[in-house]
Structures are given as C-alpha cells and as structure tokens.
Chains A and B, each alone.
Chain A
Amino acid sequence: MNAYVITVATLVAIQSIVACGLNVVVGYAGQISLGHAAFFGIGAYASALLTTKAGLTFWTALPLVIATTGLVGLLLGIPSLRVRDDFLAITTIGINFIVEAVFLYIPFFGGALGIGGIPRVTFFHVKMKGLPYLILCLVFLLLVLLVCRWFTRSWAGLACFALREDETAAASMGISPVRFKLLAFVLGTAMAGLGGALYAHFMRFISAGDFSFPVSVMLLSMIVLGGMGTLWGPVLGALILVSLPELFRPLLEIRFLLYTLLLLVMIRFQPGGLLGEASLVRRILSRLVPGKEAPR
C-alpha cells in the first residue's frame, strides 16, 4: 500500500468512528443533530491541548478526552429535551457555530493559528505513523462497532429505538425520555471525541475550520447514505464520501458535480440508505443468504 492510500484509509477509519457516534444519536435515538462536528472538534482540541500544553501522552489523555467530550455532550444534549425535529436541528447547528467560534477567538485554543506540533502516538516507544497508525484507527473502529452492536441488543438500545419511533408511547411504557436521550448524546459524542483525538494526532495540526458546520453536514450525509440506524451504514457512508472526491480527483472541476449527482440519485432511489430496510443491497444480501435476515 502506498502512503496516499494509507492516508485516505486512515481518514475513512476516523470519519467512520465519528459517524458511528452520530448514528447513535440520530439513527438509534432519533434525535437529529447537525452539530456533530463540534464534538469531533472538542475531542481533537482536548487531546491536542492535553498533549502539547499539559504534557500528557496520547494514552493517558485519551480517557480524559473521551470523558470531557461525553460530558460536554451531556450538557449540550439538554436542549434536545425541550425541542424536537427541525428546532433541534437548528439548535445543534447553533452549537456547532458556538464551539467553532470558541476555538477561533479564544487565544487559549490557539485562535486562528490553531494548534500545531501535536505529538505522534507512541506505542511501546515506537512512534506510530503510516500503516501502524491506520491499524490503530481500525482497532478503535472495531471497538466502536462492538459497542454499537452491544448497544442495539441491550435494553438501553431498545429503549432508544422506542423513543425514536414514538416518544409519548415510549414514556407510557416506562421508558424515561430524559435518561435515554441523554445516554444517546453521551455515547454518541464520546465516540466523536475518540475520533477527534485520533484525527488530531494524525494531522498533527488542527484549526477551528476543520470542525465547521459543513463537516457536520458531511457526517450526517454519511449516515443517510450508508443507512441510518444500521450497524455498518456509517462505515460504508464514510468510505464512499471520503474516498469518492479522491477517486474523482482526475476529473477536476466536474468532480463535485458528480458527487452531488450521486447523492441526489441515492436520496431519490434509496431513501433508507444503502444498507437500510428494503434497500437494493439488503435485498441482494438476503437472496445470497436465503432464510436469513441480512445483517444490519
């Protein structure tokens, strides 16, 4: 594998982790979020600051990073208890802009210059870059997928699904909307924090623009494209949306046209996403494995 492919693959793995987190919030618990990049950014900045200014290593900083992002996710998840649907979407957009502005205008966060000189991750005194770092990211992605799989099969997951389908009916079944919305926000944003930390130590230089609103839109597009609420949907979505602009690179000007066209075709013909219910891919999969449900 050449360095270019490894770089793209690492970015796919990192974006997959972040998209999986968004999938917990939007796909599992049904709380629309257009501000997920804010938490991706909080994870990246937290890890960058802890390793450059506080002198921690990536590994000692990581639990703190994940906890911090989850905690901020909990606080910023509170609006979701009061507003729903399009109002929640607008609120989360606001959160994204505020967080981005904090990074940009408060000198502590490096201001417009961002934060540079972020150390590489070391593992038993070996600096990880290239293929080893890709493998590290894939291991974390695997962990995230295992957590997601466990979550969808747990009672907490069932409670979130019920909430997504009908909040009132769920409450009258004994499911606390407050508890499970916040749980989904904490879990989803903690995953974004993990992705952010991996991103910071991969790029080694971050600035506020890396976590702006368009990134949130891109993350939401990933799970819509791949299949909201499915296990592998976010990964497939990230794979397509990160690698397509790269594949289309030789086409220069028209690559974004093609990219947009593809999204429109998807929304028109496979609104449930590539791995969604009754989608083409799932129908083919269930035909290949007769009598068994296609994997979610």
Chain B
Amino acid sequence: MLLEVNRLEISYGDVRAVHGVDFVVEEGELVSIIGANGAGKTSILNGLMGLVPARRGSIRFHGQEITAVPAHKRAHGGIRLVPERARVFPRLSVFENLLTGAYGLRKKIDLDGRLRWLYELFPILEERRDQPAQTLSGGEQQQLAIARALISDPRLLLVDEISMGLMPKLVDQVFDLLQSLNRDLGLTILLVEQNARASLEISHRAYVLETGSVVMEGPAKDLLNNPDIRKAYLGLAREEEAKRQ
C-alpha cells in the first residue's frame, strides 16, 4: 500500500472541513476524489502534503506514519503537489521554478536528463525558459507546476483542481498527459477534481466526497455509470430523461 489514510480529520479553528475520511492509494494507481466546491477536497490534499495539520487520524506513506512530518520532509520522501491555480513562483524564471522542484535532490536524480525529458513533454517551457513565471498564461503556468513537481521523480503525485480556469481543449490535454504518466511510466497519482467526468474517465478508482465525508467509493467505471453520480456530478440525468420521453 503506497498511501493509507485513516479517519483523517482536518479543521480550521472551529470549522471542520474533513470529517474522518478513510482511503487508500495503491502503487501505480490513478485515484480521484470528486466532489462539489467546499466538500473538503483541497483540505485533504493539503493535509496529505502537510500544509495543514491533521486534527485526528493517521496518514501512512509506504507503511511509515507521516502524520506529524513537516511538508518539506514529505516532499523529500517523494510526495509532490501540483497546487490549485499552479502557484508558480511569479518572479522567478521558468528554469528557476523547475530547479526549486529539484531542491535537495541533486545527487539522487539526473537533473539534466529530467530537464530534457520535461522540455520534451512541455516544449513551451523550454521556449520560455528565462522568462519570469508570472508572464506565462494560465495554461502554461499549470504545465510549469506539473513539470516542477515531476522533476523530482515523485512516488506520489497529488493534483489539485488542475482543470480549474483552463480552456476545455487544454483540460483534455492535461488529463491525457496525466493518464499517460500513470499508464506508461507507472506514476501513482491522486487527483482531486470538480470536473468529475474528465477525472473518472482516466481513473482506476474514485471516492466521492460530500461535506467532508466519503459517501461513495468504487471503480471509476462503476461510478461513471451510477445513476446517482450521473445526476449529481455529471449533469447527465436530464439528458437521459429527455431521451426517454
């Protein structure tokens, strides 16, 4: 088991955002957590990364208890986050942004090789290599955020609302990319998304989160065909009713 989360609870002051959720991610899986705005998806990812403390419960990564480990140590352990809205370092160049992702890993990874591979994956980043990241478009910043996480050769990639603010064509591209990273390179990915359909289509399994609790889980295919999910998250119920009439 790569990631094992037990009864994880996260609160901000008196407000509980996550009420004791359980989930697991196996090595090589692509798992998504879907849910509406405010369901606690981002809180879960921030809790996994160590950016917000867990109120209760435990997080085990590779069999090791990491619940109390600070974020930067989790990053060194191989967990990397592609944050919501990219959060690239605005005044640093694209190249410097990429280097931050490799911080402390000089000896462990083949930096030049990783850079070459990333530039192949995202040619625009090589073109904009010396530009400050704030001059990039939203889509380019998302690519940079993914590349910055990938440069470290992570064991678990956490992806937060990658589709937010991207135009539909780019959303498809990004999801294709995540799928191929998982399928072809065996990268384990935990995806958190509002765009339920796109994420279910590429996932092996999924969890449905409602106001801080997991209300449903199962293989992504089953969830895609589940009438309740279709109604609540995929907006398909009305079309089908119209067809029936």
Whether a CB of chain B sits under 8 angstroms from the CB of A284 is no
- Stretch of A35-43, A123-131, A156-164, A191-199 with 4 or more beta carbons under 8 angstroms from chain B: A156-164
B96 in the interface (beta carbon within 8 A)? yes
CB distance from B162 to the nearest CB of A (A): 15
Query: Which of A59-67, A69-77, A173-181, A239-247 lines the interface with chain B?
Result: A173-181
Inter-chain contact A162/B89, CB cutoff 8 Å: yes
- Contact A177-B83, Cβ < 8 Å, known A158-B99, A165-B92: no
Interface membership of A56, Cβ < 8 A: no
Out of A158, A159, A168, A171, name the residue touching B70 (CB < 8 Å): A171
* Residue B31 CB within 8 A of the other chain: no
Contact call B72/A162, Cβ cutoff below 8 A = no
Complex CA distance for A168 and B100, rounded to whole angstroms: 13
Asked if B200 is at the interface (CB within 8 A of a chain A CB), the reply is no
User: Which residue of chain A is the closest to B75 with respect to CB atoms?
Assistant: A174
Chain A neighbourhood of B88, CB < 8 A: 169
Select B90's contact among A165, A168, A175, beta carbons within 8 Å. Answer: A165
- Tell me if A172 counts as interface (CB < 8 A to partner B): yes
Q: A155-B106, A168-B83, A177-B72 are in contact. List 12 more A-B contacts (CB 8 A).
A: A155-B104, A161-B92, A165-B92, A172-B75, A172-B81, A173-B72, A173-B101, A173-B148, A174-B103, A175-B103, A176-B72, A277-B91
A170 beta carbon closer than 8 Å to chain B: yes
CA distance A168 to B89 in the complex (A): 11
Interface string of A94-132 (1 = CB under 8 A from B): 000000000000000000000000000000000000000
Q: Say whether A166 contacts B72, CB under 8 Å.
A: no
Q: Does B62 contact A (CB under 8 A)?
A: no
What CA separation (Å) do A175 and B76 show in the bound complex?
9
Q: Can you show 14 pairs from A to B with CB atoms below 8 A apart?
A: A158-B96, A161-B91, A162-B92, A165-B90, A165-B91, A168-B51, A171-B50, A171-B51, A171-B71, A172-B51, A172-B75, A173-B100, A173-B101, A175-B103
In angstroms, how far is the closest chain B Cβ from the Cβ of A291?
A: 12
Q: Name the residue on B nearest A177 (C-beta).
A: B72
Residues of B within 8 A of A169 (CB): 83, 87-89
Q: Which residue of A lies closest to B79 (CB)?
A: A172
With A158-B100, A161-B96 already in contact, the answer to whether A172 and B71 are too (CB < 8 A) is yes
Assess whether A173 is in contact with B49, with CB atoms less than 8 Å apart.
Answer: no
Q: In whole angstroms, how far apart are the Cα atoms of A177 and B99 in the complex?
A: 17
Give the 5 A-B residue pairs with the shortest CB-CB distance, closest first: A174-B75, A165-B89, A171-B71, A169-B87, A176-B72
| B90, B100, B103, most chain A CB atoms within 10 A | B100
Across-interface contacts of B100 in A (CB, < 8 A): 158-159, 162, 170, 173, 175
A236 to B13 CA separation, bound complex (whole angstroms): 47
In the assembled complex, how far is the CB of residue B157 from the closest CB belonging to chain A, in whole angstroms?
12
For the complex, is B205 an interface residue (Cβ under 8 Å from A)?
no
Q: For the complex, give the distance between the alpha carbons of A15 and B99 in Å.
A: 34
Residue of B80, B87, B99, B101 touching A168 (CB-CB under 8 A): B87
**Cβ of B163 < 8 Å from any Cβ of A?**
no
Give the contacts of B76-131 with A (CB-CB under 8 A): 76, 80-81, 83, 87-92, 96, 99-101, 103-106
B190 smallest CB distance to A (angstroms): 14
What's the Cα separation between A161 and B93 when bound, in Å?
11
Check B213 for interface membership: any CB of A closer than 8 A: no
Nearest Cβ distance between residue B10 and chain A, in whole angstroms? 15
B152 at the A interface (CB under 8 A): yes
Q: Complex Cα distance A171/B81, Å? A: 10
Q: Are A173 and B103 in contact (CB under 8 A)?
A: yes
**What distance in Å separates the Cβ of A72 from its nearest Cβ neighbour in chain B?**
26
Question: Are B89 and A166 in contact, with the CB atoms below 8 A?
Answer: yes
- A158 neighbours in B (Cβ, 8 Å): 92, 96, 99-100, 103
Contact A173/B96 with A155-B103, A165-B90, A277-B91 known, Cβ cut-off 8 Å: no
List of B residues within 8 angstroms of A174 by Cβ: 72-73, 75-76, 103-105, 152
CB of B75 within 8 A of CB of A173, answer: yes
Most chain A CB within a 10 A radius of its CB, from B75, B83, B105 = B75
Q: Which residues of A contact B73 (CB under 8 A)?
A: 174
Q: How far is the CA of A160 from the CA of B148 in the complex (A)?
A: 17
In this complex, which of A165, A166, A173 has the most chain B Cβ atoms within 10 angstroms of its Cβ? A173
CB distance from A152 to the nearest CB of B (A): 11
Taken residue by residue from 248 to 264, chain A's Cβ proximity to chain B (1 for < 8 Å, 0 otherwise) reads as: 00000000000000000
- Among B51, B81, B103, B132, point to the contact of A159 (Cβ < 8 A): B103
Bound-complex Cα distance A161 to B101 (A): 13
Q: In the complex, what distance in Å separates the CA atom of A102 from the CA atom of B222?
A: 71
Residues 212-239 of chain A, each 1 if its beta carbon lies under 8 Å from chain B, else 0: 0000000000000000000000000000
| Minimum C-beta distance from B18 to chain A (A) | 18
